[in-house]
Amino acid sequence: MLRNIVIICTIFAAGLIFGVLFFWGFLKKYIKYRDMARSFGLEFFPVGDHRVVAVKFLKNVTGGDAEFWAEVTIIARMHHLNVVRLWGFCAEKGQRILVYEHVPNGSLDKYLFPTSQILSLDKQEVINPRSTDSLKPILDWNIRYRIALNVARVIVYLHEECLEWVLHCDIKLENILLGDDFCLKISDFG
């Protein structure tokens, strides 16, 4: 009888100690993430203002927490007109999610290269997709020049003016996004 009471008390004490240690670890991690989000101004993500956001789910993050937090830290410190703004993030239960501002016109590649040509089945001729009104407009040379100039400005900012030296290494047409007035935003730093 005394032996059973000792075993039950030992199991209860071990469970209690495990629970306290688990709660302490959770609280420590929560405070770390909360303080980091607060320092970047990301703690209070506005809800209910009907903003459209772009959400990036990171899968198979090989570097673990250190690489993810380094990326969040670097992106959150960038403040340039032509860099996509990070509005928030999630790092819970193995999920790594980044929330960016939405850039409505999509990537530059859609404006420079048509995705497909429309084939008329009865005439068997290829119709130029740029002639249809439903497709996106062709960029004139003034807009192309402005885009090239702004890409150069972003690269200068990342390499020389940013608080931390950043080498993008993946600037391509898919990572150059166009806003409403064809103001570009560089994205995808991971």
Given the residues 65, 133, 170, 180, select the one marked as catalytic: 170
Asked if 182 and 139 touch (Cβ cutoff 8 Å), the reply is yes
- Write the single-letter amino acid at 37: A
Is there a catalytic annotation at residue 133? no
Residue 80 contacts residue 163 (beta carbons within 8 Å): no
Catalytic residues: 170
